[in-house]
Structure formats: structure tokens, C-alpha cells
Structure 1
Amino acid sequence: MAKKVLMVGWHPSVVDYAKYPGLTPEKLEGALRADERKLNDQGYDAAIGFLFDGDGATDQLVETLKSDSYDVVMIGAGVRKDDDHFLVFERLVNIVHEHAPSARIAFNTGPTDSDAAIQRWA
């Protein structure tokens, strides 16, 4: 049975691109989808759980985690490394801990190494 993995991060339509020179919504989504395809091609059951705003992020993640069980949940660098989203990141880690206690938690460094982050823990 394939290991089920969830990649959590901001939807490309809500990212503040002024913080990431050269990155565009198309480049971000393309990189994330490429990692999702790469993982699925390697035999994982990978999906992206996009977040649309900080206020609703925890509710979105709770609903996703209630709908299925995951072996690995990765929280993306756009949430983790941005000081403006520190409290969202903290809440998301605790949501994973509470609603998916057996899942490993992984962190990428950017939109192109999600597969490596997941492979470290899957």
C-alpha cells in the first residue's frame, strides 16, 4: 500500500510575491505540482492541501486530516519561513500533532524540494 502524504502550503493566488523576487503564481504552482507528480510516480499517494488564508488555515487543515489518514504531512516553507505567518505555522504543527498523531511531520526549504522532505520521513 502506498504511503499517503499531504503537502500543505499557501495557494499560489494568496502568496505575497514581493517577498520572493522572481517567483510567480505559475512558477510556484508548477514547482509544487512537479513535486506532487514526482512523489506519485515514485509510488506515494501524494496530494497538495492548499491554504487560502491565515484565519481559516487551521480549519482547512483539520477538515483535510479528518477526511483521510496520512503517513507524512509536510508544511511548506512559505508558511514556516515567513515571520508574518509564524503563528499560523505554530497552529498548523499543533493541528497535525492533534489530528494526525501517527503522521511524521516534514518541512521543505522551498517549492522545489518537497519530494526530498517527504522522502526523509516516509
Structure 2
Amino acid sequence: MGTYLGIPEDISGSKCKLFAFLKDKLMHRVNGWTWRWLSKGGKEVLIKSILLALPTYVMSTFLLPLEICENLASAIAQFWWSSNPPKRGIHWSKWEKVCLPREEGGIGFRMIHEFHLALLAKQL
């Protein structure tokens, strides 16, 4: 099975298995950064500019299962909270609170599932 514009050509079978490449691609990108000691500001920039933009094209084209969106959000949260790469890190706040705009006390990360639905609604 080949890919066209980063999307598999054959869209059949389990959608979770089919779109698992998104998490693999995201984790591959994150694993390249974890050896560096990044500040919270550096992690914020990397998350907002790269990790949240990585699956945008696929999310604007297909309705992804909720499990895939949750896996992506979980991987991003794990990168945000961990200070030592092999360890998970302590989640000091709920991810929904972290995703609030800065004016409301959050950091301004996107909620993956809500952003995904907004991209699909834009197509309508």
C-alpha cells in the first residue's frame, strides 16, 4: 500500500490501524527532541508550531476516530509534562485547562478533537 500526499491510498479496514501512522510520525518527531533539555517555553513553541500542525492535512480530509485524536493529545501531553524522557512526568493540571486561551488562564494549545471537527465543518 502506498501513500499519496501523506495519506494511505487504500482506505479500508480498521480506521484506528489505518491512521495509527499519525501517532507514529508524531512520536518519531518527539523522540528526536527528548534528548535535549528544553524549557517550558521551548516545548510550548515546538508543540504549537510543529506537533499540532503535523496531522492537520489528514484531519481536514478524513473523520478520524476519537481514539486517534486522544492518542495524539496524550502523546503531546506526555511530551509537555515530562522532564526526563523515559519517565512520564506528573500532570499538574488537566489537559483541558492547559488548552484554554491565555486570557482564561491556559497556555493556548489546541484541543485536537475540537480542532479536527472544526476543520471538517469548514469543508461543509
Task: Give me the TM-score of the superposition, normalised by structure 2.
Answer: 0.35
Structure with the larger helix share: 2
Q: Which has the larger radius of gyration?
A: 2
Structure with the larger strand share: 1
**Larger RCO, structures 1/2 (Cα 8 Å, 6+ apart):** 1
